[in-house]
């Protein structure tokens, strides 16, 4: 009998779509389950000096995290298991702990708005100098990382949320490492199917698992993946000390969602490219941002570095913020909601949040394309845009 694949050990040499389905399965035993069970127990039987690695108490570790942590690491190309956290922000807070008091943080100016708020909080309570950069401008990021004094951490998001700028991650990693600065990449938008930053030398990858990885808008979860044992131990200790842990049901749901990642991402990316192409010539549209469009500033870089162009589109309708709100109101299929990466298509005007960066246009709609039929999505979008008066 051939050795089973993906049960227990790391998965080598398989395509990402296969890894998503295969990794983190239980050992293959006659009569055994094909899926990992959910174990609901806050504590474990133990007495005396606990042997290293034994499960003791569920804040420090539970078996229900293990299959997801293995599968995500395999998708990101990491030998070490990932670390699941209670939310994307909990994972981000852990990663940001690399910035010491009084350190310098260089961060994408259009990173997720709550990540930016976290950075501002570090500035206020820990004297951290926060330098916001255009992450697509490699020369500007390199200069910011170099200094006056070298940065303590470079925070990359690519494509950015919501402006969809595309970073040259390999070049940024080289520039940061040249001055001893570690690099963290929020890989939520691209997913590990779109890019694998650890393979380019990035030190830390973070995810809002809430989005594409779980994929059904029914859990809030985060994760970190690193391939350095000391760094992993540090983040694991952080998670235990801060208690920023995930519940077993959420992790089980995320693993269930992860199994269909390639199908969902493949479908939504293809639909996003088609919708972006049509939106670009719609008479009621001023500007469309999607890296698939040849005229998009991120196109050639995304083509070179990414596998696919992602499923988020930026659209500015004619008539300003009021018109953008009217489009949201006129849609019947697209769901007006924050968040992204679910099977359902959704959208929002980002500047409805007072906290969104002021460099994000007031009238920008962020569209998250789901897996519905693309013609149905187009009919709804197009009819909503046609309700707008001519400019
Ligand atoms: N990173 C990105 C790119 C996001 O879009 C989000 C949430 O929208 C987060 C991180 C935060 O993740 P969570 O909402 O799971 O805490």
Residue-wise pLDDT for 235-281, tens only, equals: 999 999 999 999 999 999 999 999 999 999 999 999 999 999 999 99
Annotated catalytic residue within 186, 203, 227, 296: 186
Positions of CATH 3.40.640.10 in the chain: 16-258
**Which atom number of ligand 1 is nearest to the Cα of residue 221?**
15
At 99, is the secondary structure helix, strand, or coil?
coil
Q: Is the pLDDT of residue 1 over 80?
A: no
Dihedral angle of Cα 220, 251, 236, 62, to the nearest 10 degrees: 140
Number of residues assigned to the chain: 391
Q: Which pLDDT value is given to residue 8?
A: 45
| CB of 161 sitting under 6 A from ligand 1 | yes
Residue with tokens 């990642």: 261
Alpha-carbon gap, residue 65 to 249, rounded angstroms: 10
CATH number of 16-258: 3.40.640.10
Query: Using one digit for the tens of pLDDT, what is the confidence trace for 224-247?
Result: 999 999 999 999 999 999 999 999
Q: Which long-range contacts (CB under 8 A, 24 or more apart) does 26-32 make?
A: 26/67, 28/4
Which residues belong to CATH 3.90.1150.10 in the chain? 262-386
Ligand 1 neighbour 88 (Cβ under 6 A): yes
Question: Ligand 1: which residue has its CA nearest to atom 11?
Answer: 88
Indicate if ligand 1 lies below 6 Å from the C-beta of 160.
no
- DSSP sequence for 264-330: HHHHHHHHHHHHHHHHTT-TTEEEEE-TTSTTSTTHHHHHHH-SS--SEEEEEETTHHHHHHHHHHH
Indicate the average pLDDT of the chain. 96
> Residue 86 and residue 245: Cα distance in Å, rounded?
5
The structural architecture, per CATH, of the domain 262-386 is Alpha-Beta Complex (3.90)
**pTM for this one?**
0.96
How confident is the model at residue 12, as a pLDDT? 66
User: Does residue 81 surpass a pLDDT of 90?
Assistant: yes
At 9, the pLDDT band (50, 70, 90 cuts) reads very low
Give the C-alpha separation, 369 to 271, whole Å. Answer: 7
**Average pLDDT of the segment spanning 59-66:** 96
Least confident of 7-11, 138-142, 182-186: 7-11
Pocket of ligand 1 contains residue 356 by CB under 6 Å:
no
pLDDT of the residue at 13: 82
In short, whether 298's Cβ falls inside 6 Å of ligand 1 is no
Q: Give the per-residue pLDDT at 313.
A: 98
Residue bearing the CA closest to ligand 1, atom 12: 88
Can 211 be counted among the known catalytic residues? yes
- Averaged pLDDT, 87-110: 98
| Atom 2 of ligand 1, nearest CA residue | 112
Residues of the chain with pLDDT > 70: what percent?
97
Report pLDDT for 197: 98
Q: Is 125 annotated as catalytic? A: no
**Torsion (CA) 63, 64, 65, 71 in degrees, nearest 10:** 100
Please check the confidence at residue 381 and state whether its pLDDT lies above 80. Answer: yes
Distance 348 CA to ligand 1 centre (A): 15
Ligand 1 atom nearest 111 alpha carbon: 3
For residue 59, indicate whether it is catalytic: yes
Q: What is the mean pLDDT of residues 208-214?
A: 98
Q: Give the per-residue pLDDT at 208.
A: 98
Residue 87 CB–ligand 1 contact under 6 Å: yes
Catalytic residue at 112? Answer: yes
Share of the chain above pLDDT 90, in %: 95
d(CA 151, CA 131): 9
Q: How far is the CA of 116 from the centre of ligand 1 (A)?
A: 11
Index of the ligand 1 atom closest to the CA of residue 222: 15
Among residues 59, 109, 259, 303, which one is catalytic? 59
Give residue 360 CA to ligand 1 midpoint distance, Å: 17
Residue 122 has pLDDT above 90, yes or no: yes
Average pLDDT over residues 52-60: 94
């Amino acid at each position: 009998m051939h050795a089973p694949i993906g049960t227990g050990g790391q998965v080598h040499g398989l395509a990402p779509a296969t890894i998503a389905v295969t990794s983190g399965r239980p050992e293959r035993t006659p009569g055994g389950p094909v899926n990992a069970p959910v174990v609901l127990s806050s504590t474990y039987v133990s007495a005396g000096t606990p042997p290293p690695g034994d499960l003791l108490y569920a804040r420090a570790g539970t078996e229900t995290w293990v299959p997801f942590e293995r599968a995500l690491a395999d998708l990101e190309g990491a030998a070490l298991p990932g670390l699941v956290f209670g939310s994307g922000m909990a994972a981000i807070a852990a990663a940001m702990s690399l910035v010491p008091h009084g350190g310098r943080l260089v961060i994408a100016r259009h990173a997720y708005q709550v990540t930016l708020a976290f950075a501002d909080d570090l500035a206020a309570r820990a004297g951290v100098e926060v330098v916001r950069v255009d992450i697509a401008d490699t020369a500007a990021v390199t200069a910011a990382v170099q200094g006056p004094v070298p940065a303590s951490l470079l925070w990359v998001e690519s494509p950015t949320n919501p402006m969809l700028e595309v970073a040259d991650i390999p070049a940024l990693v080289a520039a940061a490492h040249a001055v001893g600065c570690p690099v963290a990449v929020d890989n939520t938008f691209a997913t590990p199917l779109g890019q694998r930053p650890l393979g380019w030398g990035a030190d830390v990858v973070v995810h809002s698992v809430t989005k594409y990885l779980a994929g059904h808008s029914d859990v809030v979860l985060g994760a970190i993946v690193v391939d350095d044992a000391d760094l992993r131990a540090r983040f694991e200790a952080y998670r235990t000390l801060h208690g920023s842990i995930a519940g077993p049901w959420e992790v089980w749901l995320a693993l269930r969602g992860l199994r269909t990642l390639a199908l969902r991402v493949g479908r939504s990316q293809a639909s996003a490219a088609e919708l972006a192409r049509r939106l670009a010539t719609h008479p009621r549209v001023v500007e469309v941002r999607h890296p698939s469009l040849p005229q998009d500033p991120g196109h050639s870089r995304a083509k070179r570095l990414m596998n696919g162009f992602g499923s988020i589109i930026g659209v500015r309708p004619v008539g300003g913020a009021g018109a953008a709100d009217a489009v949201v109101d006129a849609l019947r299929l697209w769901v007006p909601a924050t968040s992204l990466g679910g099977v359902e298509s959704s959208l929002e005007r980002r500047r409805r949040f007072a906290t969104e960066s002021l460099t994000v246009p007031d009238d920008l709609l962020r569209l998250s394309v789901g897996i519905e039929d693309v013609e149905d999505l187009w009919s709804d979008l197009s009819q909503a845009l046609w309700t707008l008066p001519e400019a």
